[in-house]
Structure 1
């Protein structure tokens, strides 16, 4: 008898211990009690299964709702009865940038149709949420009243707080995601390539390094044809040796541009801008103008030196005559990342020089041939790019502050330079007028302070 009692007691204690271990193990995994589960048969779904379960309930009511899918550029709309295994999918053309991640939205309620939003001052620590549709101001009491009525149609009377907050958060996330603007363009998104030659290092690069190069040191690269340790040091290692011919003929120009273009592709930057070594660049104006054009679209910006499209012979297309516009390299031009990539089958991997030979014209004309004739991207003319082919003395005063690029032309007969008001350098000290122009635009630059000091000393030593 005692043995039977002891055995029963042993088994009872064992069951209690095992039950306690199971309870502890269950609580450590964070599993809810069966009594609290809203899922049939006591099954416990993870977050994804819960979302699918909620979607199934909504579909059974034939209420359309929006869910994110694998393709980051498309949102799909599900209609009709379906479950999480088989779905009747109707795809709409809704572009989403960036993609809405599943963890951002819990589908406890059906996605509300697009409607105006009222101010939400008490929605889960969101201070202010204001939405406008078709230019209407939602702060108006009538708009708020109308919006409240739209929301209340999907809610029980008297239970407005929790459900309304969830719907408002979903609407806020989706709207902000769909309407999110692209990231702001910065100077680091721009690749600036300057084409030069060794014999112009002293006469031309010296002016650029003292002036606008100081505003874009890390973004500017000088493509030359010979090693020069002095100017490699003065440019902070930004000089690229191309091993191209040293003359100014088509082959050497196309060779340098080909190296420049290939380096840009490898940089991954959003914009590529080409300049000559006789250009002054207003970095701030360049950044402002490029910010108006999305780099993920094809854009070709510059100024033509002709008042008509150029005509040439395409030697690889049955000697046909082709017509196109091009941006002159003497004024500088810029191409977007998207256009540069679309040009790569014709210009990448050293193919650019063969394209120059195809039409027997220099690098800037060849860029126009590839962009306009082959890739079908038209030149966007911008009059803020300027070359030495223009009458530069007409640029004076406030007009100088608006330009992106300026240039100069010096000869024994005459000089073609801009007119700088209150220039602090004389014509003999600054024949190109770039030093005076830089001090006019940036009076706090170091070279300007030094020049003022020199003038002060000279005036008081007399």
Structure 2
């Protein structure tokens, strides 16, 4: 999955993008100019394992001077320029929780004897949080507390974020339909609108974007070269990229 990111949207945001990983990779660290952060989290996909990595990612952000923390998975494609424009319309000095609601109903959670109802945005479609809001989350997130909070409520990372932000801090989710996860049927997204989406996903080979030569005049890779469809997607958004040069294909 990582190679598709490195060859596409990572090049639009090299200084801002960090890879949080549970595997040692000198090659990845070199390619990203030191932006591959090795964690001590287990190499599994259980609730605690995912929350461990997300918590460390959040701690890394809090130490920075950046206005926004955007968390995306390794099966996401980020339309960097469009995401930046979207964030510019919002005020980082206010409490902003931006994402796509994963389920239509509220969930229930209990923390220190207090019950609350809340909604959450799926990290599978991407989530962005303002600097101001991140500071208010500190009692439940700072210095490893995110994993502890996740374990207390018995929920994975994205639901824990929603629990803290919407359930405890009562910050409303700013919903967007420009973020997409593989929980959707991605082939149903109209190909002519792909340039207008901020975050897209894939779950090759069963759930990928519908990109074929009869719907675009840009470079389209075959499924063997591009099972995620991220190369073909990148050429729709950035046709000037070297990746889309016919010479690169051979």
Structures share fold, TM-score greater than 0.5: yes
Cα gap change, 1:337 to 1:315, in 2 (>3 Å): closer
Native 8 Å contact 2:119 2:167 kept in 1: no
Cα gap change, 1:454 to 1:373, in 2 (>3 Å): closer
For the pair shown, the structure with the greater C-alpha radius of gyration is 1
Q: What residue number does 1:345 align with? A: 139
Give the gaps of 5 or more residues in structure 2: none
1:296 is aligned, of 73, 81, 93, to 93
Q: What residue number does 2:113 align with? A: 317
Deviation track 1:91-112 (CA, whole Å, cap 9, x = no partner) reads xxxxxxxxxxxxxxxxxxxxxx
Cα distance in 1 for partners of 2:40, 2:152 equals 22
Cα distance in 2 for partners of 1:410, 1:394 equals 15
Q: What residue number does 1:266 align with? A: 63
Please state how far the C-alpha of 1:396 moved relative to its aligned partner. Answer: 3.0
Deviation track 1:402-430 (CA, whole Å, cap 9, x = no partner) reads 1110001125xxx2111223342111110
* TM-score for both structures, normalised by structure 2: 0.94
Cα distance in 2 for partners of 1:230, 1:397 equals 34
1:417 correspondence with 2:191: no
Please state how far the C-alpha of 1:397 moved relative to its aligned partner. Answer: 2.9
Q: What residue number does 1:36 align with? A: none
Structural mapping, 1:354-393, within 5 Å:
354-393=148-187
Q: Which has the bigger relative contact order, CA under 8 A and spacing at least 6?
A: 2
2:72 is aligned, of 275, 289, 292, to 275
Structural mapping, 1:148-159, within 5 Å:
none
Cα distance in 1 for partners of 2:42, 2:112 equals 25
Structural mapping, 1:212-227, within 5 Å:
212-227=9-24
Q: What residue number does 1:253 align with? A: 50
Please state how far the C-alpha of 1:315 moved relative to its aligned partner. Answer: 4.7
Native 8 Å contact 2:69 2:131 kept in 1: yes
Cα distance in 2 for partners of 1:254, 1:348 equals 13
Cα gap change, 1:454 to 1:380, in 2 (>3 Å): closer
SS at match of 1:380: strand
Deviating above 2 A after TM superposition, structure 1's stretches of 4 or more consecutive aligned residues are: 420-424
Please state how far the C-alpha of 1:235 moved relative to its aligned partner. Answer: 1.9
Cα distance in 1 for partners of 2:141, 2:94 equals 18
Q: What residue number does 1:429 align with? A: 225
* TM-score for both structures, normalised by structure 1: 0.52
Q: What's the C-alpha RMSD, in Å, of the aligned pairs?
A: 1.4
Cα distance in 1 for partners of 2:77, 2:191 equals 16
SS at match of 1:323: strand
Cα distance in 2 for partners of 1:280, 1:438 equals 9
Q: What residue number does 2:33 align with? A: 236
Cα distance in 2 for partners of 1:349, 1:231 equals 26
SS at match of 2:50: helix
Give the gaps of 5 or more residues in structure 1: 1-203, 458-462
Cα gap change, 1:441 to 1:360, in 2 (>3 Å): same
Q: What residue number does 1:407 align with? A: 201
2:190 is aligned, of 376, 383, 396, to 396
Please state how far the C-alpha of 1:357 moved relative to its aligned partner. Answer: 1.2
Please state how far the C-alpha of 1:285 moved relative to its aligned partner. Answer: 0.8
